[in-house]
Amino acid sequence: MRSVVQRVSRASVNVDGQTIGNINHGLLVLAGFHTTDTEEQVRWMCDKLIKLRIFTDEDGKMNRSVNDVGGGILVVSQFTLYGDANKGTRPSFIQSARPETAIPLYEYMLSYLKSNSDLAIESGEFGAMMEVSLVNDGPVTLILER
């Protein structure tokens, strides 16, 4: 599992002109699933996201988690995170999990985050053409992989 994690002042996702997910201060997570991913990788990623200390404390040091600051998490599925463009000019997505594998993992991720935190958990729509807007805070962007 691979995630691009961005600390944001605000983020939203629109489908067909309608806002379907929206957070203020928190994390925007672009989540990609590999063909071999299991719920174990998803649990690891979720626990990491909840505890990741990338928000500043009173001394300006990254020492607080999204949970500590009462933020939200917006999770957007993104199969292109496993795109491989090393050969040619058209990426290959053969390492990206097919929908029959990725959808249950994505739904498990959302359920796990909601069950294991008191945070506002929002999401995009799997497989939809989405418009994601964000204000990156810092900017702080990390790539996590398990």
* Tens digit of pLDDT at every position of the chain (146 positions): 999 999 999 999 999 999 999 999 999 999 999 999 999 999 999 999 999 999 999 999 999 999 999 999 999 999 999 999 999 999 999 999 999 999 999 999 999 999 999 999 999 999 999 999 999 999 999 999 99
pLDDT computed for residue 133 by the predictor: 98
- Could you tell me whether strands 18-23 and 26-32 are parallel, antiparallel, or unpaired per DSSP bridges? unpaired
To the query of whether residue 80 is one of the catalytic residues in this protein, the response is yes
**What is residue 38's three-state secondary structure?**
coil
* Active-site hit among 78, 89, 101, 126: 78
Per CATH, is 2-145 categorized as 3.50.80.10? yes
Evaluate whether 44 touches 109 at the Cβ level (below 8 Å).
no
Is residue 79 flagged as an active site residue?
Answer: yes
Which pLDDT score, from 0 to 100, does residue 137 have? 96
Domain ranges of the chain: 2-145
Contact 69, 50 (CB under 8 A): no
